[in-house]
Structure 1
Amino acid sequence: MADSRRRTAAPNPDHNNGRDRVKTFRSRYLAMLAASAVAFPVTAAAQDAPAQGGLSDIVVTARRKVENMQDVPVAVTAISAAQIQKYDMTNLEKISTQTPQFTIGRASNGSGAQLTLRGIGSSASSIGIEQSVAVILDGVYYGQGRVINEGFLDLGSVEMLKGPQALFFGKNATAGVISLKSADPTTHAEYMARVGYEMKAREVVGEVMASGPLSDTLGIRVALRGSKMFGGYFANGGLNKTYSTFDVATGITTPHFAPALTSDNPGARALIGRVTLQYKPTSRLTMTLRANASMDDNDNNSWNYVPYACGNPNGTFGANPSIRCAKTFTVYQNYFPADLAGANPFSRADGSLYNQYRSWAITGQVDYSLDHLNLTLITNYNKNVNQWACDCTIVSAADPLSAPSTEHSVYNAFSTEFRAQTKFDAPVNLMWGVLYQSTKRNHTQSGSFGGISDSSAPAAYKYLGYYKRSETDGETITTYGQVEWKIVPNVTAAAGVRYTHETKDSYLTHPYINLALQGLFLQNRPVVANQAWDNWSPEATLTWKPTRDLTLYAAYKTAYKSGGFSNSGFVSATTVASDVAFNPETAAGFEVGFKSTLMDRQLRLNIALYSYLYKDLQVDFFNATTFAFITTNAGGARTKGVEVEFEYAPRAVAGLNVHGSVNYNRARYTNYVAPCYGGQTVATGCGAGGLTFHGADAQNLSGTPTAVAPDWTGSLGISYEAEVSRGWKSGFSIDARYSGAYLASAFGKPNSRQDAYVSLDASLRLKTVDDRYEIALIGKNITNRFIVGGAIDAPNSAADTLGFVNLPRTVQLQGTVRF
């Protein structure tokens, strides 16, 4: 069973006392490294149906080695390179539209996203909370919600592994894993050029790829994509407003005009590139080096924040009665006033809102195959910088509620991992690995607040209510292993465990607080936390293959999600380390599954049943009593359900594929005394029975659904491709995704409800038989459904609700040439 322990130091301005542990970490790691190595072969992509009809095998790396998906004792949904291209799935949000149980809510601040799988996800409001759904790119863990800003071009495959995956993928995989594999260099020269135009956002997209050998042993692949919107997905309905400031130094009140945004959002521009070198001097040795860079700019960091539900019976927004709540693709925001523009840190001189994301990564992988042993080393360094300027009232709210804010966050991560895996022609085989990771987050935020200014303060602080800075240095060392025993030829037992030792040293401070707010917030009084945890996450599976085409399995799994520090919190007069430092989250439970290939390999039918208990849920909320964001551990949750997936490819009709899924998932809090949602009364349970949470009235959510947890989801799709004339073939695909109703709020807020919906994606293609030329029409969310992926109480109007809304209907015309 998983266990953990935590150490949190008392506040201490000298936060360097954790640095002495670095030497201990490194010596411990080197000792393990000397005794360990790691291996798994290069991931193979999920294959498409063969030309003669019937099913082809799908190979995955769910257990860090190449296996047939039908043989793996894991619930896996695989998306091939052809499927990725079919719907232009170039980022995680687009990928989520093809996976009914996986939902993404894009957020402006905090972690930047709420990723939810099987009803388990992480709040977007705290940048310190790492996601429960781990994102793996080319074998490397990317833990930040900001990963949704990454563009994933030229992918070879995508795998969604559902349920806890700690043994093979480490911490922060309590809900599951999204594993992406970029395409490798080819053995012969290939070139591709593509241009597209998306009609809703008036977006032009261009992509090029070149791949092939530089010599007999060295191959290269270069991919580049650029895009620019001349419009957007969301209309701006903002109203001109005035933000007045009271100068605490002179007593003078000055009005500042803030014009409404008029352009559609997000108005995005992006440039993404990857270079891959692969060296194969012998059949045993493969060395791969990948370098990625991504640039993503938006004209508004909260471009999908829609005020869709009001607490007011008349349907108007509390902070601005001129705006009505509605489920429309409309946002209401304003430029910075001219006086504040360029004066506030990280603001632009023209007062425009923006979100600017930059990332860089380099990954080196060495695979070496001996007669009975595979060895692999993967080393990665990645860095991302996110900066924004926000009209954070969201609804053109005027005096005194305007809140122009800015943020600058930098995240660095270095990791190196070794694995070794035996391949004896014997009943017993072993896998062993060790990983070291070092991370650093530097977070800075400023905000105008409460209609105050101070002309006696430094120029950069004149119009600020607060300026805060936070930093977290983390180190992780983990070792893991598995024993696989083929008891008899068709029965295999496997057992393994991952041990993790982790530390995080953090501080949060306000270098500047306006004089009028210094009784509420504390200036230059840091809150410090030095944390350490140890965790054991065991796993055991039993697999029975009575025939080649039938697999039955049972598994016991556990998982561990890292604790941390809420870097985006506040230091108020009552803030202590435990308000912003939180413990790990754990999961444990069982899963049984049935995988089959039937009807002469024309039908694939997979069924999985599961039940998992999550403890010490990590929750972020705003405490109105102390006026502070608090991240803490509270209660638990259980998810249990059944999933059925099928794929049918009849041999009698080559090129036809019918596929779908039906999923039942019951995700409920087991014991959770929670903060009240905005506008909640005693009559609806707030403070009933004297319940409190961090000094404020609380409610009992035990037995109620978790956030973004529909009971029923499903999908149904059909694709067909055939030759229509000499030298030409055409194809189409239609995919429907169903979701039952759910609450988008983590605190049971009734007006956060997302109604049940069906969204529809479709594509039409005409191409030459040799695939050289192709023209395609790709439509997503054709039914134009309003879908909320997460929700928060509205600032200054808590009874109202803001939703993180997914994209409306999009239609793209795309042309491709390959040679």
Structure 2
Amino acid sequence: MAGVVISTFAFTPANAQDTATGVRPASQAAPAPQDHAIEGGLGDIVVTARRRAESLQDVPVAVTAITAEQLQKYDMTSLEKISTQTPQFTIGRSSNGSGAQLTLRGIGSSSTSIGIEQSVAVVVDGVYYGQGRVINEGFLDLDGVEVLKGPQSLFFGKNATAGVISLRTANPTSTPEFKAKMGYEFRSKELVGEFVGSGPITDTLGVRVALRASNMFGGYFKNGGIDKTYNTFDVATGVTTPHFAPAYDGDNPGSQELLGRVTLVYDPGNDFKFTVKANGSRSKVNNNSWNYVPYGCANGTYSTNPAIACKKDFTVYQNYFPEDLAGANPWSRDDGALYNKYSSWAVTGTAEYAFKDVDVTWVNNYNRNVNQWACDCTFVSSDIAAAPSTERSIYHAFSSELRAQTKLDGPVNLLAGAYYQKTRRFHQQTGSFGNIEDSTAPEQYRYLGYYKRSATDGETLSAYGQATWKILPVLEATAGVRYIHETKDSYLTQPYVNAALQGLFLENTPIPGNQTFNNWSPEATLSWKPTDDVTVYGAYKTAYKSGGFSNSGFVSATTVPSDVAFRPEKARGFEVGIKSKVLDNQLRLNFDVYSYKYVDLQVDFFNAQTFAFVTTNAGSARTKGAELEFEFAPYAVPGLNLHGSINYNKARYGAYIAPCYGGQSIEQGCNTTFQGAPGQDLSGAPTAVAPKWTGSLGVGYETEVGQGTVFGATLDSRYSSSYLASSFAHPLSGQAKYLTLDGTLRLKFNDERFEIALIGKNLTNQFIVGGSVDGPNTGANTGASQNAATGAAVISDEIGFVNLPRTVQIQASVRF
């Protein structure tokens, strides 16, 4: 449950408005860094990392800012696309569980449990979206993105232990503006259309409407599925019946998407402003596990289907539901097709009032999303064990936050706020299991191994405050703390279990989880500005991520509440940095070093042999490293911009007795116990998706090539050293080092009224795994010797959550 305490409002003083219309231009709402083509020199970058507008060079926080112009250049309309421009931020899209594994600086959250909130918090217009399913949201018409690295509890509440991805959507403009865009991506055969209309309705009311629709006639991944026959044994009659399941005959994901947002800003010019943002999103793909590639197998072929070779390419292996079973499972389609449907809507109201000495902000939000899918969960056209599975999950949240910030002329200023949130998650899932059926069961359960249901109701109350003391004109100290109280009431039960499986899974045996959490998260920072262009800072930070309940777990004969209820995750540590602009405002250099310790890091374990989930807390983990970012915009070559980063990060478990990965042998380290089952000591082992070295290097150039015509080109590279994608050090989960290239070519005509662009991403066509899971029903005899004469340990295969391959898009746009 996302009972999340968050201070998430990008505040602009209500009296900073356009004098002609009373409507604040979008650039004033949360100013984004500007491209400076044709001019040379650096512009100022304004961020809201401390919930107020500040220069990137002044704020004592490690922030990577992506401008609206950069977002448009690379058509970054999703979190996955945004991650391609941020070397230390990685996303692994998952089919079930939370739906994603978001990782920053080697700290992230397992995707297999829907109950685990992300350690990397996603915030949209000041509102927290902690569900991994947020990657299904389409983000159009953005005004900027900020990647805040490291613990961010004071301003962004709980569930921000690893960092924050803060997105700002654009506000109405002070003059009428209309934009239309059409694009076509060649690999997936995707057609995209976008429209934005913005401007004043009256002197005090502005509106902005943004729409985006897309239809994919192909896909990014080939489906190499093989026709299979799925046999079921009727436990009531003893009859075995074959069911033919044809291979999927198209490419994946074949997505369809419709997004929309309406923004109204009422600004009467008397120090008051009210903003309403209403948005909706609907998307559908033809396979919920469209990026699941079997890429790591000990013998080169997948153990449950030797006809499938394990290799690092963009091919998945999935089948339709058998025709005679189509529509039999709840939420399965009558034609047997696989799918994932996601829909969401949200409304946010923000009231701002600027008193003489205090700015007050009040934000209320309601958001709701529904996710539903049908899956061939063997992932490799296998005719054994788990096959047709379906799921439906509903999540909704209401939040309200009131905050006040003083703006006194004296050396001391204060911030104080209070936050309330109410959430509910309702989760249902069915699965065929063990090749069985029961003709005496209700029709909707006949071919199921299980049907499970779970819910969590959460409530959060929080208060926080910060004092800022200007000790000297060049020396500032801040200190603050956030208090959090929350409750979560949960249950997990299986209303139906096939009779043959009732020794493994328990029917109608609820597992309750009534939890209460309290936390104090303090923070202190000292910053020194010896000159206007240099800031040196040091910070001590703490953070807290909610404990919770693994709604997507199973109730087996050995399940106890501690298997599905997990403790909070906490972080504490130090960060020191220097930010500078040199060479007469031509070169920006930002450098920081950090060390953070995480206690009770939340990790979810999927037992591929028993098909069970256990959520664990690692005793400790530590991430430490150094980061350098630079940007060079020489006056001598107007329109030229060089930029990049070099990052070193070492993320390791400090103390963690963990479950063994599937089929791990004694010789491979499975030589202890974990909760009475085979275990391993991961102390000193790397966390998941934690490359030691990452970096980026890019160049952009724009120049006039004729009257009213501008040519522009960019080339951006991203490097990562090798890492393990598994949270449990599975040796077959390795991701090799890689270098990606993204590039654009653009022509702007008639004073930028018309534009045509060619956009290429991952031009090196790198195979990149953002997370992994042990293949279902693979691996055997975990904890045994690999040399045993009988019952030898057999290592499990690895399924990778693979990022997009090479894509090339042509795009045309017009402003009028």
Does TM, normalized by the shorter one, top 0.5?
yes
Q: Give the counterpart letter for 1:388 in structure 2.
A: W
Identity %: 68
What secondary structure, in the 3-state scheme, does the structure 2 residue paired with 1:617 have?
Answer: strand
In 2 relative to 1, CA 77–189 (structure 1 residues): closer, same or farther, beyond 3 Å? same
**1:623 positional shift:** 4.1
* Counterpart for residue 727 of structure 1: 708
Asked whether the 8 Å contact 1:38–1:421 carries over to 2, the reply is no
Q: Deviations over 1:477-509 (max 9, x none)?
A: 111000000001100000000000011000000
Task: Compute the displacement of 1:632 (Å).
Answer: 2.0
Alpha-carbon shift at residue 797 of structure 1 (Å): 1.3
Residue 175 of structure 2: aligned partner: 188
Alpha-carbon deviation of 1:525?
A: 1.1
Residue in structure 1 matching 2:375, options 390, 397, 408? 390
Which residue, out of 34, 39, 44, partners 1:47? Answer: 34
Shift in Å at residue 48 of structure 1? 2.2
Contact 1:54 1:649 (C-alpha < 8 Å) held by counterparts:
yes
Match for residue 330 of structure 1?
315
Does the CA contact (< 8 Å) of 1:403 and 1:448 recur in 2? Answer: yes
- Unpaired segments ≥5 residues, structure 2: 14-28, 780-795
Give deviations 1:161-198, integer Å, cap 9, x for gaps: 00000000001000000000000000110000000000
Matches within 5 A, 1:651-690: 651-687=635-671
Q: Tell me if the contact between 2:10 and 2:30 (Cα under 8 Å) persists in the aligned partners.
A: no
Q: Where do residues 302-701 of structure 1 align in structure 2 (5 Å cutoff)?
A: 302-312=289-299, 315-398=300-383, 400-623=384-607, 628-687=612-671, 691-701=672-682
* Paired AA for residue 533 in structure 1: F
User: Helix, strand or coil: the match of 1:83?
Assistant: helix
What TM-score does the superposition give when structure 2 sets the normalisation length?
Answer: 0.94
3-state DSSP class of the match of 1:168?
Answer: helix
Preserved contact between residue 572 and residue 598 of structure 2 (Cα < 8 Å)? yes
- Tell me the equivalent position of 2:791: none
Q: Is the 8 A contact 1:39 1:421 kept in 2?
A: no
Deviation at 1:769, TM superposition (A): 5.2
Query: 1:170 is matched with which residue?
Result: 157
| Distance in 2 between residues matched to 1:340 and 1:528, nearest whole Å | 33
> Counterparts of 2:162 and 2:601 in 1: how far apart (Å)?
12
> Given the alignment of the two structures, is residue 743 of structure 1 paired with residue 730 of structure 2, yes or no?
no
Distance 1:525 1:613 in 2: 38
Q: Secondary structure at the match of 1:167?
A: helix
Deviates more, 1:676-685 or 1:135-144: 676-685
- One-letter amino acid of the counterpart of residue 505, structure 2: F
Deviation at 1:39, TM superposition (A): 6.0
Cα root mean square deviation, aligned:
1.5
Matched residue, 1:775: 756
The structure 2 residue matched to 1:135, chosen from 102, 122, 134, is 122
User: What amino acid is aligned across from residue 77 of structure 1 in structure 2?
Assistant: T
- What's the secondary structure of 2:500's corresponding residue? helix
CA contact (8 A) 1:729 1:769 kept: no
Tell me, in whole angstroms, the C-alpha distance in 2 between the residues paired with 1:505 and 1:632. 19
Paired AA for residue 578 in structure 1: S
Alpha-carbon displacement from aligned partner over 1:725-749 (angstroms, at most 9, x marks no partner)? 1121100000000000000000011
Distance 1:402 1:711 in 2: 37
1:15 counterpart residue number:
none
- For residues 123-147 of structure 1, give each alpha carbon's deviation from its aligned partner in whole angstroms, at most 9, with x where no partner exists: 0000000000000000000000000
1 CA distance for matches of 2:286 and 2:369? 19
Separation (CA, whole Å) in 2 of partners of 1:248 and 1:704: 45
Q: CA deviation at 1:634?
A: 2.3
Give 3-state SS (helix, strand or coil) of 1:71's partner.
Answer: coil
* CA displacement at 1:751 relative to structure 2: 1.2
Secondary structure class of the residue paired with 2:667: helix
SS class of match (1:615): strand
| Count, aligned residues | 781
> Offset of 1:38 from its aligned partner?
11
SS in 1 for 2:385: coil
> In the alignment, which residue of structure 1 is the partner of 2:241?
254
**Is the 8 Å Cα contact of residues 477 and 500 (structure 1) preserved in structure 2?**
yes
What amino acid sits opposite 1:615 in the alignment?
V
Aligned to 1:806: 803
Match of 1:348, as an amino acid?
R
CA deviation after TM superposition for structure 1 residue 250, in Å: 1.5
Query: Which moves more between the two structures, 569-578 or 65-74?
Result: 569-578
| Aligned-partner SS, 1:684 | coil
Cα distance in 1 for partners of 2:302, 2:583 equals: 58
Offset at residue 699 of structure 1 (A):
1.0
Partner deviation per Cα, 1:197-248 (whole Å, 9 max, x = no partner): 0000000000001000000000000000000000000001110001111111
DSSP 3-state at the match of 2:323 = coil
2:297 counterpart of 1:300: no
* Counterpart pick for 2:699 among 695, 718, 737: 718
SS of the residue aligned with 2:57?
Answer: helix
Q: 1:654 to 1:565 in 2, by over 3 A?
A: same
Aligned to 1:705: 686
Deviation string, structure 1 residues 744-790 (Cα, Å, up to 9, x no partner): 00001111110000000000000025210000000000000000000
SS of 2:161's equivalent in the other structure is: coil
Residues 248-272 of structure 1 deviation map (CA, whole Å, 9 limit, x = unaligned): 1111111000000110000000000
Q: In the TM superposition, what whole-angstrom CA distance separates every residue of 1:298-350 from its partner, at most 9, and x where no partner exists? A: 000000000011022xx111010011100010000100011221010000000
Q: In terms of mean alpha carbon deviation, does 86-95 or 762-771 score higher?
A: 762-771
**For residues 70 and 647 of structure 1, what CA distance do their matches in structure 2 show?**
12
Counterparts of 2:210 and 2:103, CA distance in 1: 30
Question: What is the Cα deviation at residue 627 of structure 1?
Answer: 5.1
* Distance of aligned partners of 1:624 and 1:49 in 2 relative to their CA distance in 1, 3 Å threshold: closer
**Alignment match, 1:205:** 192
Q: What letter is aligned with 1:783?
A: T
Deviations 1:790-817 (A, max 9, x none): 0110001131100000000000000000
CA contact (8 A) 1:105 1:790 kept: yes
Deviation at 1:43, TM superposition (A): 2.0
Which runs of 5 or more residues in structure 1 are unaligned?
Answer: 1-17, 19-24
Note if contact 2:396-2:424 (Cα within 8 Å) is conserved in structure 1: yes
Mapped pair 1:100 → 2:97: no
SS of residue paired to 2:193: strand
Distance in 2, Cα, partners of 1:366 & 1:584: 33
DSSP-derived class of the 2:703 partner: strand
**What SS does the aligned partner of 1:635 have?**
strand
Q: Secondary structure at the match of 1:705?
A: coil
- Determine if contact 2:10/2:126 at 8 Å carries over to the other structure: no
TM-aligned CA deviation for residue 283 of structure 1: 4.6
- Superposition deviation, residue 401 in structure 1: 2.4
Superposed displacement of residue 446, structure 1: 0.2
2:747 alignment partner AA: L
Q: What is the SS of the residue equivalent to 2:171?
A: coil
How far the C-alpha of 1:652 sits from its partner, in A, is 1.3
Distance 1:160 1:754 in 2: 24
